[in-house]
Structure 1
């Protein structure tokens, strides 16, 4: 960055990606700041700027090497896993500022030397204490997938083995041996130590609503164009395995769509106002790409003028609307899970 860009940055004040420090003298303290930036979206630390007033105090020439060595030691020895930070000295108004650039971490969650996890919270930082936040940090780095979480009160007895047999023989073109069911599931990463994970229950559970009661579809057909608490035309809570969720959700929507003439002859059958292929794609995406860390239902809201499908969770892994418009794609859940779901739904 050049001097003018630094001045503009200072004028805008501290934020979740920018921090000011008049000096750096404690490696443990700066390590926590590096951890917070690395666990968030990365950021810049300007050393030599008063964090209360934004005034440029500058750094003495004799302190430049000391600060750089201290920051490097903090990033390498007091941050786990280490983070590679860059520093440069920039002169502004005859004063020197050290610009430290911290990248977004690739091995989240990063911790300080005591194992504490920090993230940015506006211009400040805070400790991560909830399991949900920790899980999302692991998910963002690809070290944990929600659908691989183990269901502690499950066993191989909770598997619909006939459903699994049908899937296994169709996909792998080989005979299925019931006594090897647990081994098959473990090889496919659907079970561990005799316990199903969320993916296993969603795909082949005998009674998924018992094992994972929050993972269902809530479908409501409202009167008019707004949500009301008083009146609706139809409502249904859809439960079951992934293929059943998909099929029943499609039936709920499709049966209520208007069938339009669309320039056809008078005696022709009407065409659904929303093409079948569009509905199928939306519902497949809803099942595959929802956030399984969040215990909540997928919601389908039908109105006179539109259909809304609402998934638990935000866009995955820092994906933005602008990136989606440019064609960028990122998966929230594992590729293996997506393959299983797509294969099963293709059979519906």
Structure 2
């Protein structure tokens, strides 16, 4: 690809990316959806700000301007030059300035007419307004206007701008100040304080009423006050397919208690349920080998970071070939399925911070939980957990599937790369020492699966397929 800067007002810092005819046809062959939109250059720039707002307020997406639709197919019909796109650029930059969240560039193709303006919007941590003063939200191929207080509050909750943990609950404050969990917590924290002093200091009370965070953390049975959103449902399904009633083994168990106890109890009960049943392996039913760290970190995250404004519980489903952990609420802030291992956003700040003050806190490695879960799976040669954002929930699936062998991973790597080194192979398939990997590679050489590349010994021998 070639890149060149464009001059002119509004386009001086923009680039054009030259693509091939095959790449242009591949782009035009895509379908519009939750992450993609095509727009003709004749559209009013102000109207298009609604689409950019909708993408930024959801999971992000791409808009290509200069692509027209005719009878369900798309055609390249770009701007004559960069100057023709200035009305769009001027309108967009006022509302969506170039930076971490928005990118603008032109696409050119020698086989196509004119320039296509590509707008890339990332998921924003804040609410993004269109030119009419309203935010919009992308859902599939539609954009929803957020024009009521109820819809705006729902968007704030989804993005983690506002947390339900700060709402008050109409119960007696003594249920928190005189609870067993509060006594144990205060005795373990120095300096020791009275329950009333602690709650006032931590801003856990408003107008004499405890907040949701207070009830969840410091009452002995939060489910009495918040019965529709504070339990964990644990179920076993005798199937490798979808969850359905006929495959349910017994009744689903309801797990209750303050959050600290709830997390530990949910992890322990899930492990016992898994160990009491076999799972589907490569050669039939076998004992499950899910790492404790994986179950602990994923269940902890599902309880601490869920959206407590939604009237639903955390659901843990144990299948013959996997475990599913589904927590109410979409991913907060700028977190997406793609960047979840590298990006942090905290929906329930008070819960997250205060539960870390309990003895042996469940979130002791704050910010590293999911990475720990993934590494633990790799440590026992199981495939990584995978993540999916649902309409109103977040689903983590922990598969009971073995990773490929070292030989298979090396050969797969070489389908996309010319050579591989011992160090690169150890990143794909961690082993205790480089000598262990050297033995694996040497055996592959003897089997005529690999050959060393001449002249590469000094900086680390490179290997390739014969």
Normalising by the residue count of structure 2, what TM-score does the alignment of the two structures yield?
A: 0.56
Structure 1 residues 243-268: Cα deviation after superposition (integer angstroms, max 9, x where no partner): 332354456456667689xxxxxxxx
Matched, 1:36 2:54: yes
Normalising by the residue count of structure 1, what TM-score does the alignment of the two structures yield?
A: 0.71
Taking the TM superposition and a 5 Å limit, the aligned residue runs for 1:214-293 are 214=228, 215-220=230-235, 228=245, 232-233=249-250, 236-249=253-266, 252=269, 280-281=296-297, 283-293=299-309
Equivalent residue in structure 1 for 2:161, among 143, 151, 156: 143
Taking the TM superposition and a 5 Å limit, the aligned residue runs for 1:203-214 are 203-214=217-228
Equivalent residue in structure 1 for 2:311, among 295, 312, 326: 295
Matched, 1:58 2:78: yes
What's the counterpart of residue 26 of structure 2? 8
Aligned-pair Cα RMSD in Å: 4.3
Matched, 1:119 2:134: no
Q: How many residues align?
A: 326
What's the counterpart of residue 331 of structure 2? 316
* Distance across 1 between alignment mates of 2:53 and 2:294: 43
Q: Secondary structure at the match of 2:37?
A: strand
Name whichever structure is richer in helix by fraction: 1
What's the counterpart of residue 116 of structure 2? 98
1:113/1:217 CA distance change after superposition, 3 Å: same
- Verify the 8 A CA contact 1:284 1:342 in the aligned structure 2: no
What's the counterpart of residue 341 of structure 1? 355
1:6/1:142 CA distance change after superposition, 3 Å: farther
> Shift in Å at residue 50 of structure 1?
1.1
1:93/1:334 CA distance change after superposition, 3 Å: same
> Shift in Å at residue 170 of structure 1?
1.6
1:244/1:81 CA distance change after superposition, 3 Å: farther
1:129/1:286 CA distance change after superposition, 3 Å: same
1:182/1:342 CA distance change after superposition, 3 Å: closer
Structure 1 residues 180-216: Cα deviation after superposition (integer angstroms, max 9, x where no partner): 2441230xxx444544333221101254123211211
- Verify the 8 A CA contact 1:205 1:241 in the aligned structure 2: yes
Structure 1 residue runs of 5 or longer lacking an equivalent are 261-271
Matched, 1:22 2:37: no
> Shift in Å at residue 135 of structure 1?
5.5
1:175/1:57 CA distance change after superposition, 3 Å: closer
1:38/1:252 CA distance change after superposition, 3 Å: closer
Structure 1 residues 150-195: Cα deviation after superposition (integer angstroms, max 9, x where no partner): 1353563442445334313423x11313442441230xxx444544
Higher relative contact order (CA 8 A, sep 6+): 1
* Distance across 2 between alignment mates of 1:275 and 1:60: 59
* Distance across 2 between alignment mates of 1:233 and 1:123: 40
1:59/1:228 CA distance change after superposition, 3 Å: closer
